Amino acid sequence: MKMEGIITPIVTPFHRDAEESINYEATKQLIDHLIDHGVKGIFILGSNGEFHVLSEEEKVAYAKAVIDIVDHRVPVYVGTGCCSTKETIRLSKKMEALGADALSVITPYFLKPSDEDLYAHYKAVAESVSIPIMLYNIPKATGCPLSPQLVDRLADIENIKGIKDSSGEAERLQAYAQIAKEKDLQLLIGSDSKISYGYGLGAKGAVAGTSNVIVDTLVGLDKALKEGNEEKAKKLQKDIDVLRGVLPLGTVPSVMKRAVELAGIAEVGPARRPVRELSAEDDEKIKEMLHYYF
């Protein structure tokens, strides 16, 4: 399986009801829009997908719905990483049974395992399923980075096939890229500001949160980079910064979700509490940002 192109880590749509229940109609609207505009994968239950505030029952139901909606048009990547190995294995097996194409396994969070702990964790998870696994490095959210030395060892495990790096650290990205060149490991960029840089190191794809909103910009950037159109790629990479500039208005993923709504893509609703909805003043700033693209 090739992990390549723009893969959208979709936001999980919620209703504005007391239960903040999942909105499956909006999920279909968002997915169809993204696939129609050229994304090469749908990634669910990541950071933008608010995996951390969904129950296991909700995750399984949502994954089943998404896999049915996508219907083999593009690969479906499902986040299954939990704090415990036991829980991660249980969820990974369930997602494989549902028909997920690949699993994304974030490092355990809150605690800080050693490299040996992490090696045993990922090995056990990988051996529990047969579909490809993508390592997910996002130390700013987990406090638990994947060292290049550990990634080099993990790359030798048969079905660990990729790594998504959201650290934004150039040196770490360089180290991962070198491992990817030497071993059967595919590098995906998880920091939207580093896509051009990462492709220059050999990455073939990006898990780009901003593609929830500005999918044409991201798909265009991927195409320009692969065609060697440096001038166009430089402009499109810079264009992403306009959206990124408003993201600090709220807690992840409140601004991204509101931008999806205000762009008329799908009524994806708010982020789950404790993340609050944005103010009317913030809405105006998001609308102003959207005018740059649409």
> Catalytic residue numbers?
136, 164
Which residue, among 175, 171, 200, has the nearest Cα to 163 in the 3D structure? Answer: 175
What is the rounded distance in angstroms from the CA atom of residue 188 to the CA atom of residue 171? 15
Which amino acid is present at 267?
E
Say which DSSP state 280 is in: H
What is the rounded distance in angstroms from the CA atom of residue 200 to the CA atom of residue 124? 33
The DSSP element (H or E) to which 205 belongs, if any, is strand 205-207
Which amino acid is present at 256?
M
Tokens representing 97? 């049974």
Tokens representing 192? 């939207």
Using a 10 angstrom Cβ sphere, with 0-12 exposed, 13-18 middle and 19 or more buried, the burial of residue 229 is middle
